[in-house]
Amino acid sequence: MPWRESTWMSERAEFLRFACLPGANMSEICRRFGVSRKTGYKWLARARARGGELSDLSRRPRNSPSQTSAEVVARVCALRREHPAWGGRKLRSVLRRTGVQPLPAPSTINSILGRNGLLSPDRRLQRDWQRFEEAAPNALWQMDFKGPLKLQSASAYALTILDDHSRFNLCLAVCPDQRRETVQGQLVRVFERYGLPERMLMDNGPPWGSAGQAAGFSSQTHLSAWLIRQGITVSHGRPYHPQTQGKEERFHRTLALELLSLRPAWRDADELQTAFDDWRDVYNIERPHEAVGLEPPFTRYRPSSRTFSIVLPPIDYVGDAEVRRVQTTGRIYFRGREFVVSRGLAGQPVALRPAEDEVWDVYYCHQKVRTIDLSCLEDL
């Protein structure tokens, strides 16, 4: 599937927003978006002729007939001040009993409260957010599938990738399956557009992990090996702990609430991808995000300076490393014994470096994939 089949205008909007960032490298941005420098500078000149305003590229309608009236907003705020512990559902119940029409949804009420500074932060959630948020864009990307999604003729999956720091959505793609080849093809498009992250976080299921295996060396797959060869550190969440990828889980809930729940089924993958593209623009560029100070994720995101190459770099271990090649069974032979590494690394060289007496760390490229202890009679 092409990168963006039917949203050329929204792609230009994203291009212009990156081009207008301080210190933007126009040649690099044009290359990543697949346009000539002449075209890129033409778009930028037109935007600047409008005073630098890009609002005309927004998908927001000029008129919002369904927008909540000022009277209802005032009533919601007054009730919240009377009952500061009540959330959207309780406030909506009161509004219904008092005959307010049209009756806003609980999510709309919570949005009103947020815009007016009437949402009390959950201290526990705030502490978790501070603990797990990366300090800069592209330090960590989270990746996961959502689905299966209902199409009239088949089923599909949504591959989603989120930048941990900014909550910027880097990929929202309809996929016919969850195979490694499908994911890798989408990742190539993302890497060409946004560059490479320092680290990626995924769960332990296929295609990025081995189902039923604990997070760590045994969960490395061919896809993980390919990412590591790109210089990306691969991390896997704890098994049966989806909160490890809490930002992805929250993004999926938002996607379901604001888009997927609006239709019982989509005609085909093309129609769903078009809807994804449109909604993604709103999410990234227009929608206020509470985790980024009620600013759109775009305001905190910058493309990575680490560029992608389709040609994998050679594996070269230096220093005091002892190199072994992983067998088709996923094992290596070292000091007369056999140790499990990963079938995902079959045929690849790994390096063993001494950590302490009888303990060796096993590396694949830059990433430590496991530790072995020669003093133990059994494999770890």
| 145 shares its domain with 214 | yes
In-domain check, residue 289: yes
Predicted confidence (pLDDT) at residue 208 exceeds the cutoff of 80 = no
CATH at 257: 3.30.420.10
pLDDT in tens, 258-271: 899 888 888 999 99
Give the range of the structural domain holding residue 102, as residue numbers without chain letter: 70-126
Q: Is the peptide bond before 303 cis (omega within 30 degrees of 0)?
A: no
Q: Check if the beta carbon of residue 318 is closer than 8 Å to that of residue 331.
A: no
188, two tokens: 């190539």
Number of domains present in the structure of the chain: 3
In-domain check, residue 315: no
Query: What pLDDT sits at residue 271?
Result: 92
* Residues comprising the chain, all counted: 380
| 264 shares its domain with 200 | yes
Q: How far apart are CA 77 and CA 96, in angstroms?
A: 15
Query: What pLDDT sits at residue 240?
Result: 47
| 225 shares its domain with 146 | yes
| 91 shares its domain with 144 | no
pLDDT in tens, 237-264: 665 455 567 888 889 998 998 899 888 8
pLDDT in tens, 78-116: 888 887 767 787 788 788 878 888 888 888 888 888 888
Q: How far apart are CA 191 and CA 189, in angstroms?
A: 6
The pLDDT of 274-297, averaged and rounded, is 88
Q: Check if the beta carbon of residue 143 is closer than 8 Å to that of residue 208.
A: yes
Q: How far apart are CA 144 and CA 146, in angstroms?
A: 7
| 260 shares its domain with 359 | no
The pLDDT of 117-140, averaged and rounded, is 63
In-domain check, residue 184: yes
| 223 shares its domain with 265 | yes
| 108 shares its domain with 147 | no
In-domain check, residue 47: no
Predicted confidence (pLDDT) at residue 211 exceeds the cutoff of 50 = no
Its sign, for the CA torsion 65, 70, 75, 77, is: positive
In-domain check, residue 356: yes
Q: How far apart are CA 186 and CA 174, in angstroms?
A: 10
Residue 89 neighbours by CB distance under 10 Å: 12
